[in-house]
Amino acid sequence: MKPIEIKIAWQGNSGCESCSIRSSALFAELNEEDFSKIHSPIDDLSFDANTGIYAQGDQAQSLYTLRSGYIKILHLNSDGSSRIVRIVLPGNLFGMEALLGETYEHAALALTNVRVCRIPKQIISSLGEESPRLHRQIVKKWGEALLQSESWFSEINTGRIEVRLARFFLKLAKESGSIAIAPLFRREDMGLMMDVKFETISRALASMAEQGLISNITRLTVQIPSLEALRNFSKKGFDK
């Protein structure tokens, strides 16, 4: 765990090409005077894949910005079942319920190796009172998270499983030369996201590979030979 000096992070001298404090949408509108009012440390933390960051019901003392990797937000039901309700992408905030309640409503677990900034909620509360800019950003960012969650899971929970996987890969794919690469999580996690058995995920991946939509499936990634072909498939899938 490494506390980040606010002034260093703001000036861009921390050794990071893109410090999440400086580039995060939450802090994007703040100026140096706003940052000078921050006295509590913001911790720079790393977690291995499949590690818990906080548990559902834990005391909510902080909110987080994801710097790299992917995180799942998991809701545990009273009957012991669970459901992934959101995937956190780099640059996104999570744990924002800390600003409203005493405990976290969901659990946060690392899908991959991740790096996060842990921001004490008193920083946001005190700055929010003094900085209308930050208050606007908090409201905006929270709304974006809700819309992202609703849009994400409506798209990957309707239609044939191959179509849902296509949409999933399109949202996360990054171009690399003439191809694109998308992350692939544990089959159990993929099943929780799409409300199907993990065997169904495995069969669907094999089917998509046979059709040439994806290739070079590994434990962590898939290659996408043609984003255009995958995009067309995701649009036409309902008719097949």
Single-letter amino acid, residue 220: L
- pLDDT tens per residue across span 60-104: 999 898 888 999 999 999 898 888 888 898 888 899 888 888 899
Single out the residue of 54, 90, 108, 72 nearest to residue 188, CA to CA. Answer: 72
Which residue shows structure tokens 């908090």?
138
**pTM of the complete model beyond 0.85:** no
- pLDDT tens per residue across span 146-170: 677 667 777 888 889 999 999 999 9
Single out the residue of 230, 229, 224 nearest to residue 179, CA to CA. Answer: 224
